[in-house]
Structure 1
Amino acid sequence: GGSHIVMGCKQLRADLNFAWPSSEIAVMGASGAVAVLCGKEAKAKKEAGEDVKAFLAEKEQEYTDKFANPYQAAQYGYIDDVIEPRNTRFRICRGLAQLATKRQSLPAKKHGCMPM
Protein backbone atom coordinates (compact mmCIF):
# COMPACT_ATOMS: atom_id res chain seq x y z
CA GLY A 1 0.00 0.00 0.00
CA GLY A 2 1.12 3.49 0.84
CA SER A 3 4.14 2.28 2.83
CA HIS A 4 6.16 2.30 -0.38
CA ILE A 5 6.31 6.10 -0.17
CA VAL A 6 7.44 6.35 3.44
CA MET A 7 10.03 3.61 3.04
CA GLY A 8 12.10 5.62 0.57
CA CYS A 9 10.73 5.66 -2.94
CA LYS A 10 12.33 7.00 -6.10
CA GLN A 11 9.95 9.95 -6.12
CA LEU A 12 11.46 11.09 -2.79
CA ARG A 13 14.99 10.74 -4.20
CA ALA A 14 15.97 7.40 -2.65
CA ASP A 15 19.16 6.11 -4.24
CA LEU A 16 18.38 2.40 -4.47
CA ASN A 17 15.12 0.50 -4.29
CA PHE A 18 14.96 -3.28 -4.29
CA ALA A 19 11.99 -5.59 -3.87
CA TRP A 20 11.56 -9.29 -3.27
CA PRO A 21 9.44 -11.30 -5.74
CA SER A 22 6.69 -11.64 -3.12
CA SER A 23 6.39 -7.86 -2.68
CA GLU A 24 3.11 -6.13 -3.31
CA ILE A 25 3.68 -2.63 -4.65
CA ALA A 26 0.41 -0.84 -5.26
CA VAL A 27 -1.64 1.99 -3.84
CA MET A 28 -3.95 -0.46 -2.07
CA GLY A 29 -4.17 -4.19 -1.55
CA ALA A 30 -5.87 -6.46 -4.02
CA SER A 31 -8.93 -7.16 -1.85
CA GLY A 32 -9.57 -3.47 -1.23
CA ALA A 33 -9.09 -2.57 -4.87
CA VAL A 34 -11.40 -5.33 -6.05
CA ALA A 35 -14.04 -4.28 -3.53
CA VAL A 36 -13.98 -0.78 -4.99
CA LEU A 37 -13.64 -1.73 -8.65
CA CYS A 38 -15.97 -4.74 -8.77
CA GLY A 39 -18.38 -4.05 -5.90
CA LYS A 40 -21.47 -3.61 -8.07
CA GLU A 41 -20.66 -6.67 -10.16
CA ALA A 42 -20.13 -8.77 -7.00
CA LYS A 43 -23.43 -7.56 -5.55
CA ALA A 44 -25.23 -8.49 -8.78
CA LYS A 45 -23.66 -11.97 -8.73
CA LYS A 46 -24.70 -12.43 -5.10
CA GLU A 47 -28.28 -11.45 -5.89
CA ALA A 48 -28.25 -13.88 -8.84
CA GLY A 49 -27.10 -16.68 -6.52
CA GLU A 50 -23.69 -17.09 -8.12
CA ASP A 51 -20.45 -17.87 -6.28
CA VAL A 52 -19.20 -14.45 -5.16
CA LYS A 53 -16.13 -15.76 -3.31
CA ALA A 54 -14.77 -17.42 -6.44
CA PHE A 55 -15.48 -14.30 -8.49
CA LEU A 56 -13.69 -12.05 -5.98
CA ALA A 57 -10.74 -14.45 -5.69
CA GLU A 58 -10.38 -14.48 -9.47
CA LYS A 59 -10.50 -10.67 -9.66
CA GLU A 60 -7.99 -10.32 -6.80
CA GLN A 61 -5.56 -12.64 -8.57
CA GLU A 62 -6.05 -10.71 -11.81
CA TYR A 63 -5.37 -7.40 -10.00
CA THR A 64 -2.24 -8.82 -8.35
CA ASP A 65 -0.93 -10.16 -11.65
CA LYS A 66 -1.54 -6.91 -13.52
CA PHE A 67 -0.82 -4.18 -10.99
CA ALA A 68 0.40 -5.22 -7.54
CA ASN A 69 3.61 -7.07 -8.26
CA PRO A 70 7.22 -5.89 -8.13
CA TYR A 71 7.86 -6.67 -11.79
CA GLN A 72 5.36 -4.01 -12.85
CA ALA A 73 6.99 -1.54 -10.46
CA ALA A 74 10.42 -2.34 -11.92
CA GLN A 75 9.11 -1.94 -15.45
CA TYR A 76 7.88 1.57 -14.63
CA GLY A 77 11.09 2.50 -12.79
CA TYR A 78 9.63 2.65 -9.28
CA ILE A 79 12.21 0.12 -8.07
CA ASP A 80 15.66 -0.72 -9.38
CA ASP A 81 15.49 -4.50 -9.31
CA VAL A 82 13.58 -7.51 -8.07
CA ILE A 83 15.99 -9.58 -6.01
CA GLU A 84 15.81 -12.96 -4.35
CA PRO A 85 15.73 -12.79 -0.54
CA ARG A 86 18.94 -14.82 -0.30
CA ASN A 87 20.77 -12.10 -2.30
CA THR A 88 19.56 -9.18 -0.16
CA ARG A 89 22.71 -8.75 1.94
CA PHE A 90 24.98 -8.90 -1.10
CA ARG A 91 22.90 -6.37 -3.08
CA ILE A 92 22.70 -3.92 -0.18
CA CYS A 93 26.46 -4.14 0.45
CA ARG A 94 27.16 -3.63 -3.25
CA GLY A 95 24.77 -0.69 -3.36
CA LEU A 96 26.38 0.95 -0.33
CA ALA A 97 29.82 0.49 -1.89
CA GLN A 98 28.60 2.19 -5.08
CA LEU A 99 27.22 5.09 -3.06
CA ALA A 100 30.30 5.51 -0.88
CA THR A 101 31.73 8.19 -3.18
CA LYS A 102 28.43 9.85 -4.01
CA ARG A 103 28.48 13.62 -3.81
CA GLN A 104 25.12 15.25 -3.38
CA SER A 105 24.63 18.85 -4.33
CA LEU A 106 21.66 20.50 -2.74
CA PRO A 107 19.99 23.59 -4.15
CA ALA A 108 21.16 26.90 -2.68
CA LYS A 109 19.13 28.35 0.18
CA LYS A 110 16.60 30.89 -0.96
CA HIS A 111 16.83 32.81 2.30
CA GLY A 112 18.46 32.46 5.69
CA CYS A 113 16.80 31.97 9.04
CA MET A 114 14.53 34.86 9.84
CA PRO A 115 14.82 36.33 13.36
CA MET A 116 11.74 35.88 15.51
Structure 2
Amino acid sequence: MPGYLSGVRQERGGIIRRGAKLLYAYAEATVPKVTVVVRKAYGGGYAVMGSKHLGADVNLAWPTARIAVMGAEGAVGVLHRRELAASADPEALRARLVATYEATHGTPYLAAERGYVDAVIAPRETRAEVCRALRALHGKRAPMPQRRHGNIPL
Protein backbone atom coordinates (compact mmCIF):
# COMPACT_ATOMS: atom_id res chain seq x y z
CA MET A 1 0.00 0.00 0.00
CA PRO A 2 1.54 3.37 -0.99
CA GLY A 3 0.08 5.16 2.02
CA TYR A 4 -3.09 5.48 4.01
CA LEU A 5 -6.32 5.49 2.06
CA SER A 6 -8.22 8.56 3.14
CA GLY A 7 -11.89 9.31 3.02
CA VAL A 8 -14.96 9.68 5.21
CA ARG A 9 -15.67 5.94 5.19
CA GLN A 10 -12.12 5.11 6.29
CA GLU A 11 -12.19 7.80 8.98
CA ARG A 12 -15.46 6.46 10.38
CA GLY A 13 -13.98 2.98 10.24
CA GLY A 14 -11.19 4.08 12.57
CA ILE A 15 -8.17 4.47 10.27
CA ILE A 16 -6.82 7.35 12.37
CA ARG A 17 -7.03 5.34 15.59
CA ARG A 18 -5.55 2.23 13.97
CA GLY A 19 -2.82 4.27 12.33
CA ALA A 20 -1.97 5.82 15.69
CA LYS A 21 -1.70 2.35 17.23
CA LEU A 22 0.64 1.23 14.44
CA LEU A 23 2.76 4.35 14.82
CA TYR A 24 2.92 3.94 18.60
CA ALA A 25 3.82 0.23 18.41
CA TYR A 26 6.54 0.89 15.87
CA ALA A 27 8.02 3.77 17.87
CA GLU A 28 8.03 1.69 21.07
CA ALA A 29 9.53 -1.45 19.50
CA THR A 30 12.95 -2.44 20.81
CA VAL A 31 13.60 -5.18 18.26
CA PRO A 32 15.70 -4.58 15.13
CA LYS A 33 13.68 -2.68 12.53
CA VAL A 34 14.57 -3.57 8.94
CA THR A 35 12.49 -2.24 6.04
CA VAL A 36 12.54 -3.13 2.34
CA VAL A 37 10.67 -0.73 0.05
CA VAL A 38 9.72 -2.61 -3.10
CA ARG A 39 7.26 -0.25 -4.82
CA LYS A 40 5.33 2.89 -3.84
CA ALA A 41 6.00 4.54 -0.48
CA TYR A 42 4.21 7.88 -0.28
CA GLY A 43 3.46 10.48 2.36
CA GLY A 44 2.44 9.68 5.91
CA GLY A 45 1.99 6.01 5.09
CA TYR A 46 5.69 5.71 4.28
CA ALA A 47 6.73 7.81 7.25
CA VAL A 48 5.07 5.55 9.83
CA MET A 49 5.63 2.18 8.18
CA GLY A 50 9.31 1.66 8.72
CA SER A 51 11.06 4.81 7.56
CA LYS A 52 14.33 6.24 8.80
CA HIS A 53 12.33 9.20 10.10
CA LEU A 54 10.70 6.95 12.68
CA GLY A 55 13.89 5.17 13.64
CA ALA A 56 14.25 2.17 11.34
CA ASP A 57 17.67 0.61 11.82
CA VAL A 58 18.14 -0.44 8.19
CA ASN A 59 16.06 0.77 5.27
CA LEU A 60 16.64 -0.87 1.88
CA ALA A 61 14.92 -0.22 -1.45
CA TRP A 62 14.57 -2.05 -4.73
CA PRO A 63 15.19 -0.12 -7.97
CA THR A 64 11.39 -0.24 -8.55
CA ALA A 65 10.72 1.73 -5.35
CA ARG A 66 9.17 5.18 -5.45
CA ILE A 67 9.62 7.23 -2.27
CA ALA A 68 8.00 10.66 -2.22
CA VAL A 69 5.44 12.87 -0.55
CA MET A 70 2.92 11.85 -3.23
CA GLY A 71 2.77 10.08 -6.57
CA ALA A 72 3.74 11.78 -9.81
CA GLU A 73 0.13 12.21 -11.02
CA GLY A 74 -0.94 13.96 -7.83
CA ALA A 75 2.21 16.05 -7.59
CA VAL A 76 1.91 17.28 -11.17
CA GLY A 77 -1.73 18.18 -10.56
CA VAL A 78 -0.77 20.26 -7.52
CA LEU A 79 2.49 21.80 -8.73
CA HIS A 80 1.44 22.59 -12.30
CA ARG A 81 -2.29 23.30 -11.96
CA ARG A 82 -2.13 26.71 -13.66
CA GLU A 83 0.12 25.50 -16.48
CA LEU A 84 -2.22 22.61 -17.19
CA ALA A 85 -5.30 24.85 -17.15
CA ALA A 86 -3.70 27.30 -19.60
CA SER A 87 -2.33 24.63 -21.96
CA ALA A 88 -3.84 24.01 -25.39
CA ASP A 89 -3.14 20.28 -24.93
CA PRO A 90 -3.28 19.58 -21.18
CA GLU A 91 -3.09 15.78 -21.54
CA ALA A 92 0.17 15.90 -23.53
CA LEU A 93 1.62 18.43 -21.10
CA ARG A 94 0.51 16.32 -18.13
CA ALA A 95 2.12 13.20 -19.62
CA ARG A 96 5.39 15.07 -20.21
CA LEU A 97 5.38 16.59 -16.70
CA VAL A 98 4.59 13.22 -15.08
CA ALA A 99 7.46 11.56 -16.97
CA THR A 100 9.83 14.35 -15.91
CA TYR A 101 8.66 14.17 -12.29
CA GLU A 102 9.07 10.38 -12.17
CA ALA A 103 12.60 10.65 -13.57
CA THR A 104 13.72 13.37 -11.16
CA HIS A 105 11.72 12.85 -7.94
CA GLY A 106 10.93 9.88 -5.77
CA THR A 107 13.53 7.53 -7.18
CA PRO A 108 15.22 5.21 -4.68
CA TYR A 109 18.60 6.61 -5.72
CA LEU A 110 17.54 10.13 -4.74
CA ALA A 111 16.20 8.74 -1.45
CA ALA A 112 19.57 7.05 -0.86
CA GLU A 113 21.41 10.32 -1.59
CA ARG A 114 19.25 12.07 0.98
CA GLY A 115 19.76 9.33 3.58
CA TYR A 116 16.16 8.05 3.55
CA VAL A 117 17.35 4.57 2.55
CA ASP A 118 20.66 2.91 3.30
CA ALA A 119 21.04 1.10 -0.01
CA VAL A 120 19.31 0.35 -3.28
CA ILE A 121 19.56 -3.40 -3.81
CA ALA A 122 18.62 -5.82 -6.58
CA PRO A 123 15.60 -7.97 -5.68
CA ARG A 124 17.73 -11.13 -5.77
CA GLU A 125 19.97 -9.65 -3.03
CA THR A 126 17.08 -9.04 -0.61
CA ARG A 127 17.43 -12.17 1.52
CA ALA A 128 21.20 -11.78 1.89
CA GLU A 129 20.91 -8.07 2.76
CA VAL A 130 18.16 -8.62 5.34
CA CYS A 131 20.20 -11.45 6.92
CA ARG A 132 23.27 -9.20 6.97
CA ALA A 133 21.28 -6.42 8.65
CA LEU A 134 19.83 -8.77 11.27
CA ARG A 135 23.29 -10.18 12.06
CA ALA A 136 24.64 -6.64 12.46
CA LEU A 137 21.73 -5.75 14.75
CA HIS A 138 21.90 -8.98 16.77
CA GLY A 139 23.11 -7.29 19.94
CA LYS A 140 20.97 -4.17 19.59
CA ARG A 141 20.02 -2.63 22.90
CA ALA A 142 17.42 0.11 22.77
CA PRO A 143 17.37 2.30 25.88
CA MET A 144 13.88 2.25 27.37
CA PRO A 145 12.33 3.99 30.34
CA GLN A 146 11.73 2.00 33.54
CA ARG A 147 8.22 1.02 32.48
CA ARG A 148 8.29 -1.42 29.56
CA HIS A 149 5.17 -0.19 27.73
CA GLY A 150 3.56 3.21 27.79
CA ASN A 151 -0.12 3.97 27.72
CA ILE A 152 -1.25 4.96 24.24
CA PRO A 153 -3.75 7.82 24.51
CA LEU A 154 -6.72 6.41 22.56
The TM-score normalised by the length of structure 1 is 0.83
Q: Which residue of the partner structure matches residue 103 of structure 2? A: 65
Measure, in 1, the Cα distance between the counterparts of 2:49 and 2:94. Answer: 30
Are 2:108 and 1:106 equivalent residues in the alignment? no
Q: How many residues align?
A: 107
Measure, in 2, the Cα distance between the counterparts of 1:67 and 1:106. Answer: 37
Aligned positions of 1:23-42 closer than 5 A: 23-42=65-84
Measure, in 1, the Cα distance between the counterparts of 2:48 and 2:55. Answer: 12
Farther off after superposition, 62-71 or 74-83: 62-71
Give how far 1:6 is off: 2.1
What is the DSSP-based 3-state SS (H/G/I as helix, E as strand, rest coil) of the residue aligned with 2:66? coil
Are 2:58 and 1:20 equivalent residues in the alignment? no
Counterpart AA for 1:34: V
Counterpart AA for 1:73: A
Give how far 1:108 is off: 6.3
Q: Percent identity?
A: 46
Counterpart AA for 1:80: D
The TM-score normalised by the length of structure 2 is 0.64
Q: Which residue of the partner structure matches residue 121 of structure 2? A: 83
Offset from partner CA, 1:53-104 (integer Å, 9 cap, x none): 2211111111122221111110010110111111111111111111011222
Q: Which residue of the partner structure matches residue 54 of structure 1? A: 92
Are 2:134 and 1:96 equivalent residues in the alignment? yes
Measure, in 1, the Cα distance between the counterparts of 2:127 and 2:92. Answer: 39
Give how far 1:107 is off: 5.3
Superposition CA RMSD, Å: 1.9
Q: Which runs of 5+ in 2 are unaligned?
A: 1-41
Q: Which runs of 5+ in 1 are unaligned?
A: none
Counterpart AA for 2:135: A
Say which structure is richer in strand: 2
Counterpart AA for 2:137: L
